[in-house]
Every structure is written in structure tokens, then in C-alpha cells.
Amino acid sequence: MTLSPRVYVPLLALVALPFLVGAARSLSAPAPVRADVAGARYRLDAASAKSSGARLLPDGVRRATFGFDPLVAPADRRAFLAAIASARPEARRLIGLVDGLVVVRIGPTGVPGAIGLTEDGAAGYRVTVDLGLVVQRFGPRGVDRTVLHELGHVVDHALLTDDVSAALDAGIPAGWGCDNGISGACASPQERFAESFAKWALGDIGVSLDIGYRVPPPAAPLDVWGAPLARLAAG
């Protein structure tokens, strides 16, 4: 699920974003609505923040890490963090920049069919993953994909300017069909990015994993497609 415009009404969406998934098809919600400058809420250096009029990502946020809802069980917390640990180093660095903005919930998303939901608020983001449902339908590989999809929404909303997002989206082929007006060829740019971010982060294009918005993998090799993300992580 997604965040808001660029719009993340994701299934992740800014009020609530859904993100569609698999056969019965699990929805992850659409993206949230954004308060940003040129597509990104923050900039990573003072010069860019000053020239764009956007907020500088605070040092305290960079040093912080995820907040977890008090009801999250220790095993669920470990499963969420293990999914991130399985990602490539550049993806972990990007997530490490914004994880201090995120509060994690584990359980039903409140959106029918949605296995993941990312919500955007003034203070940051709330990510909800229905781990029980994901494991039941898609197993451990589905957990990794869902967690990275939702965090892709956060990276997108918080850090990616419109020019970077447009360049990345141009490298993702159009999907097929138009399920429920939100997947396949109808998938929003936010969902297309979140799906592709998860594939790039995990080095897994999703063969035999029927989860997501029916977004094809990037046309170029994942390392090539994700080069702008690697540069941002290094910057």
C-alpha cells in the first residue's frame, strides 16, 4: 500500500494506502497525500534544502530507528527487521535514513484485502503489515517483499524528488490488464515504484510470487535501474 500524491493513496496511501496482492488478491493500500517540495518531503543536505525550500532531514531522525506499537510481539518485530536485513546494503541505508520517521504496527490493516498499509502524517509514517495473512498466503518470501514494498513508499514519499521518480518510473514497463482500476496497467506511479523498490532491494524480480500490483520488473537489470537509489544512499 502506498502514500499520497505523487499520490500515495497507496494501499499504502496518505490517509491510507492500499497495495494489491495476489489471487484472492491481497491488497496493500494506495498512497498518502504529500506535503512536499518537488515530490519529496525532505532533503539530505543543507544546500539542497535551502535552494528548494524543503525541510532538511533532521540529524535526530537519521540517528533514530523504527518505533514499534507496544502491542507488537517480539517475534513479529524480529520478522519485520529480518526482512530489512535481507535487503541489499544500499536499500538498508535508504531505509536507515527514514526509519526514525516510522511507527510499525503488526496486524490487520483495516482495509479489506490489504496485507500492508502505509499512512502519512505530519509527524511521520505508520506502516502496518498483516504478517499472519502474508505468511499464510505467501510464506517468508512474501513477508520480505511486503515489508520492503511498504518501506519503499516511505523512501519515495520522504526522499525522492519528482525528477528522480519520473526517471525510475520510465524504466518500468507498463503492466497488463487493469484489475479493479489499481493494478496492472492501472497501477499508480507510487505502487509501481514500491513494487520495483522491493524487487531491487531483494534482488528478486518476483518469479512465482503472486503478490503485488502486477507490475513487471524494470526493463534494465535491477542494479542499473536502481543506480539513482544507490547514489542517493551514498550521498
Task: Please indicate whether residue 21 or residue 190 has the higher confidence score (pLDDT).
Answer: 190
pLDDT band at 35 (very low <50, low <70, confident <90, very high): low
Specify if 6 maps to a domain. Answer: no
pLDDT of residue 175: 83
Specify if 7 maps to a domain. Answer: no
Specify if 2 maps to a domain. Answer: no
| Domain containing residue 20 | 12-234
**How many domains are there within the chain?**
1
pLDDT of residue 122: 83
Specify if 4 maps to a domain. Answer: no
Specify if 37 maps to a domain. Answer: yes
Task: Please indicate whether residue 122 or residue 10 has the higher confidence score (pLDDT).
Answer: 122
Specify if 107 maps to a domain. Answer: yes
Specify if 1 maps to a domain. Answer: no
- Tens digit of each residue's pLDDT (9 = 90 or more) over 48-104: 999 999 999 999 999 999 999 999 999 999 999 999 999 999 999 999 999 999 999
Is 229's pLDDT higher than 90? yes
Specify if 163 maps to a domain. Answer: yes
* C-alpha dihedral, 102 to 103 to 109 to 115, nearest 10°: 50
CB atoms within 10 A of CB 51: 10
Looking at every residue in the chain, the average pLDDT score rounds to 85
Task: Please indicate whether residue 5 or residue 219 has the higher confidence score (pLDDT).
Answer: 219
What's the average model confidence in pLDDT over 159-182?
92
